[in-house]
Structure 1
């Protein structure tokens, strides 16, 4: 047993936290980072200047607490999402993980359960554990799809209090049809379940993949979670948000920490949303690189999953670990996400994609 673990075990840690390891992907210093689904394009210079100016203005008031209701940010997010949403439909936090945590704090807890369908985002069980919420799982088909009938049957059998549907799904990239979300919502009615649709990668979806935002009217238990980390290239700013019936935001006010969104965070997000078109201008290029990766991996005899996200999960390798290590040795970091026989790669710039594909070809049998 390591000294660090021994020191930890001497503390009166909660029993359900003993033996756990913190969430986190490897943070290695290599030239090409394609492992955590960041937007590798960065911020346009004029947007950087606009954010700096907005933050500088906010700095003059840092002796005061920030707007507790982040009023301007909610107005801008409502306009960005459209679908007839108003500020009362919007809530935000320090990354979508905090938003999800607040949902679990408000609607989960001891004696309650959250359900999702692995393989999916690995933070869901950790967030459940941290809030004392039991985590139960459903299953997907072999191709990572989920049908309305299967989702509904599994939800009725488990009767969870919270249902989390990730679409496009991380780490598979596969999207759910609106019929799956509708079926899940109806099946959750018996247990009065909150249904969270995690759309962190929604901006990268194919044109014919609809957002669950259009399902919000008349569904007070439905929540659509989003982030500015991916398409907006603001992973370092930690800004997540949701759209839902106004009473959902009222519930989250009961569990949020006071003044949880700093003035700096609000200023950054407000400036970014003012320049949303410029920040999202790289999305089509990223989607093009993603589709290129899918095509070229298929040509190489590998098995990429269809993706509506900014990443591609692929299998078909005899020794994925050796491929991962070979890519890393060449300065390309991708992600081993624990699905046997598979790796996941973020769609980066054209040059990054060129390097990834060139190195990958060299590592595969001739």
Structure 2
């Protein structure tokens, strides 16, 4: 069975004015377009394109299909998303039960746990450059970055706070400093760091951190006086090229900066924020679940499992993402582990399953309920499906 689906773009303020429109080959709407959701998540279920306009969750229930364990998105960032981390499954279950018992309405602005699930996520770049802040940089590197900035008192205070105390390791130092900054007690640090990044005496060319400083300067300009600037300064900058991917497991801080990508995540809405947002930030709860270990960003290398078929395996049971470079000469045939969604991103893609056939153009998708799927035509498509349990 094939079910063509579509959805409207969500107009979050951080969205791009042009990227999704360019992918779909249409004029921009005139407002930011941040995400298009492909799935049955109740927050914005896709519509079934059969003339009925039914939401996908209802259509799947009608044919006896359980809710999808994943959510597929087109994501287009024009400015930084909020810095955020997601809980593990155990943390989510505990937090959800706690807020339920406390009677916090599920639609309340201060509600943190909307469900009992974790929310690992992977994103593959569609634009030629996709920038993101992901995970925490080793402290020695952050100290070098700070030493390249003009020596304002707040910058010096931050550098001093990042020095190890007694037997603290890097993770403990970062946990302490992040809690201090986000508590609102470090306004001089925030102000002086912003001034050091944006002032006339800032010199990126000789710092060795030109790319990082350019991103941080833009954040400082877009989010004045936001303590998330300090958290962003502690994070790894990743620049993905088209087709490259990164993974954000439980507890890892991340904030996409700019670019277009295909994102796949577990079907959850649990987000704990750490700055660069007007939304609610619960500092104690964030610090309880955040992973302050340091190291390189978690990049996922694609594995070519067949000619023109690339698997991005994040090692989670909720989802698996495959990219197909379709050609008329060689149709890609794939076994499926459960209900799948095929999303076209370039060209004209032909999808066949169970005797049904649908043609997709960029930005359109179809649900596949079958044991396998064949993808041909001439273009690129992404296939989301449950992971291997």
If the length of structure 1 is used for normalisation, what is the TM-score?
A: 0.26
Higher relative helix content: 1
Largest Rg, 1 or 2:
2
Higher relative strand content: 2
If the length of structure 2 is used for normalisation, what is the TM-score?
A: 0.25
